[in-house]
């Protein structure tokens, strides 16, 4: 009987790393309504909630970052995520989501880059009304731990005194 139990434990250790669900995770956190809505075509959003999900895609793992806002997304907006993938004190990657003016032909996009380099890789952006999502392949990121994140919405042209950080206090979501 003891050999059967030991055999099952060893086989579960061998099988577990190949099972996507053992490595997948998702988390989300709320941020306060702390940025006034100024209206107009350019008004970077007040972040309401951010979520991170690591999951298995068709043939590889993916990271999906999503944010929701208190007010509908304006014509032009930008939200920047900093990612800690290795457990250090600083961000390893910067991910940028943005929506440009459709009349200029500029794309709506998301991209990510290792901090300190110019190796830009593009993700898949979806946005509408109160939320936007960027999905990227993790095969270029190589995380060694669960990914921490923080987001910020930079200064808009009508509201220079209110940069929105999520979480407030410039910490990390874990």
Pairing of strands 77-84, 47-56: unpaired
Q: State the pTM of this model.
A: 0.76
Residue-wise pLDDT for 126-137, tens only, equals 988 899 999 998
pLDDT value of position 8: 36
Residue 46 burial (C-beta neighbours within 10 Å; 0-12, 13-18, 19+): buried
Q: Looking at residue 161, what DSSP letter applies? A: T
Residue-wise pLDDT for 98-129, tens only, equals 887 666 656 678 999 999 999 999 999 998 88
The CATH number of 25-170 is: 2.60.40
Neighbours of 88 (CB within 10 A): 11
Q: What Rg do the C-alpha atoms of the chain give, in angstroms?
A: 19
Q: Where are the domains of the chain?
A: 25-170
Non-local CB neighbours of 12 within 8 Å, separated by 6+ positions: none
Q: Looking at residue 147, what DSSP letter applies? A: P
Question: Would you mind telling me the total number of residues written for the chain in this entry?
Answer: 174
Residue 115 corresponds to which tokens in the numbers above?
């901090």
pLDDT value of position 22: 37
Residue 169 phi, psi dihedral angles, 5° rounding? 85, 0
Taking 70 as the pLDDT cut, the residues of the chain under it are 1-23, 30, 32-43, 57, 101-107, 155-162, 169-170
């Amino acid at each position: 009987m003891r050999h059967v139990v030991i055999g099952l434990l060893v086989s579960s250790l061998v099988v577990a790393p190949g099972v996507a669900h053992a490595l997948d995770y998702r988390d989300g956190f709320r941020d306060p309504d702390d940025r006034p809505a100024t209206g107009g075509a350019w008004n970077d959003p007040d972040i309401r909630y951010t979520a991170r999900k690591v999951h298995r895609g068709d043939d590889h793992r993916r990271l999906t970052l999503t944010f929701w806002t208190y007010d509908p997304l304006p014509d032009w907006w930008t939200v920047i995520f900093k990612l800690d993938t290795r457990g250090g004190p600083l961000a390893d990657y910067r991910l940028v989501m943005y929506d440009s003016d459709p009349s200029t032909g500029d794309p709506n996009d998301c991209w990510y880059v290792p901090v300190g380099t110019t190796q830009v890789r593009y993700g898949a952006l979806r946005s509408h009304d109160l939320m936007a999502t960027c999905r990227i392949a993790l095969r270029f990121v190589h995380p060694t731990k669960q990914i921490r994140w923080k987001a910020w919405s930079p200064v808009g042209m009508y509201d220079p005194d209110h940069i929105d950080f999520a979480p407030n206090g410039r910490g990390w979501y874990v």
